[in-house]
Amino acid sequence: MPPVAPRSGDAIFANVERVNAELFTLTYGAIVRQLLTDLEEVEEVNKQLDQMGYNIGIRLIDEFLAKSNVSRCNDFKETTDVIAKVGFKMFLGVTASVTNWDADGTCCSIVLEDNPLVDFVELPDNCQGLYYCNILSGVIRGALDMVSMKTEVTWLRDVLRGDDLFELQVKLLKHVPEEYPYKDDE
Amino acid sequence: MIGVGKVKQYGNVLDKPLNKGKQEVSLSAFAFLFSELVQYNQTQVDNIGELERRLEDAGYAVGARVLELLCHRDKVILDPDMRGYYSGQSSSILSLKDLSLGMGNRRETRLLGILSFVHSTVWKVLFGKVADSLEKGTEHEDEYMISEKELLVNKFISIPKDMGTFNCGAFVAGIVRGVLDGAGFPAVVTAHFVPMEGQQRPRTTILIKFAEEVLQREARLG
């Protein structure tokens, strides 16, 4: 049987169950507000959002692989391309692009023009240190962790902080060699 | 370290036009997010009651904003076929005639008006469908129920045995309370599982108990 071709983000998004983005946006806002009330320190909120994203990422990768037919990526460039073109589209309905590659191909930027998390949002003066969308960087880190890539994901630009775009820098730290025997075979 | 960081340079968020609200995200994205909300709140409480209260608070914040959003968006488009009010034995059926449908740039001031707004408009916008049923309690004048066979937030949730009657619908109850409170109809809103004959999964009923002042005002308005 020939391998099944990977599906485009648009095709997957058109076929999955969807919900109103405003429910998603406002629910995320409620989470951020709860964290700000509970943790008080903006730094702690950033950390918690990243942790929540990581938890989501390690679960989300399964659905991503199952629905996208994407097989093992040959290099990190292909990986980030798949995140931007398929991943973001499939879950959030938006497309991202990849730019600013470094010379050895281990660090690049994922750029988002549209981000459903930030509709209706304005950072008040006392929350200026907040990375409002930090959950997204956690998701990417968690998902890549599950396919043996340790990464560092940081926000370079954020519309809520006055930039024109959202820019996430994804840096490949190392490939974790797979260990044999696989746990599943035990 | 609240208070540090860059000074904001962007325009006022209120200057942005309200879009039509047609954007969508995948249900899984919402389900993953909601599950993190529940799990995080589980770490902050020591009993079920408190967990439900915290989910309700989160929902309340959503409801308050949904009311504002829908009242400001010029025209809320309602589907012509808003039928299917459930007729249970313990309740009287509310017919479409009783409910003044439609809302545009204004807020409902009458009890049935605001209830239909929640059951129809709010539900349609948030969950993509009108709620399965809206009923009036027969034993208490101040009680109304909105029921849903498969509530979106309960779709991927299974309740462990040791968590008893816990219902993630508390989040939706909070949304309902947020809308009602913002519209001037304070109420106590709770979510309950109701077993259904011949169905494996129970339905979720959102019980709305209005404050006394609401009923008094309604009586005065005649």
Greater confidence (B217 vs B87) lies with B217
Residue B82: give its domain's CATH number. Answer: 3.30.1380.20
- Give whole-number Cα distances, A12 to A18, A160, B133, B159, B169, in Å: 11, 29, 33, 30, 29
Interface test with B, best of A7, A20, A118 (most B CBs within 10 A): A20
Residue B6 lies in a domain: no
Number of domains in chain B: 1
Residue B67 lies in a domain: yes
Domain span at residue B100?
A: 51-221
pLDDT of residue B78: 46
pLDDT mean over A116-143: 93
The CATH fold of domain A9-175? Muramoyl-pentapeptide Carboxypeptidase; domain 2 (3.30.1380)
Of B3, B30, B44, nearest to A126 by CB-CB distance is B3
A23 vs chain B: nearest CA distance in angstroms?
6
pLDDT mean over A149-160: 95
pLDDT digits (tens, 9 = 90+) for B88-120: 334 444 544 444 444 456 778 999 999 999 999
Number of inter-chain CB pairs under 8 A, A vs B = 148
* ipTM for the assembly: 0.92
Of A19, A41, A162, nearest to B27 by CB-CB distance is A19
Of B13, B58, B65, nearest to A31 by CB-CB distance is B58
pLDDT of residue B166: 86
pLDDT of B31 higher than 50: yes
| Percent of residues, chain A, with pLDDT higher than 70 | 95
pLDDT of A110 higher than 60: yes
With tokens 């009993």, the residue in question is B47
Instruction: Provide the whole-model pTM.
Output: 0.86
Q: What are the chain A neighbours of B54 within 8 Å (beta carbons)? A: 34
Side chain identity at residue A120, one-letter code: F
Sheet architecture: strand order including A166-175: A96-99, A107-112, A166-175, A149-157
Domain ranges of chain A: 9-175
pLDDT digits (tens, 9 = 90+) for B132-187: 999 999 999 999 999 999 888 888 877 877 887 888 999 999 999 999 999 999 99
Q: What are the chain A neighbours of B128 within 8 Å (beta carbons)? A: 19-20
The average confidence (pLDDT) of chain A is 92
Task: Please say whether the dihedral angle defined by the alpha carbons of residues B64, A88, A107 and A135, taken in this order, is positive or negative.
Answer: positive
pLDDT of residue B156: 80
Residue B107 lies in a domain: yes
Residue A9: closest C-alpha in chain B: B26
| CA pair distance B159, B202, nearest whole angstrom | 12
Specify whether the CB–CB gap between B99 and B115 falls below 8 A: yes
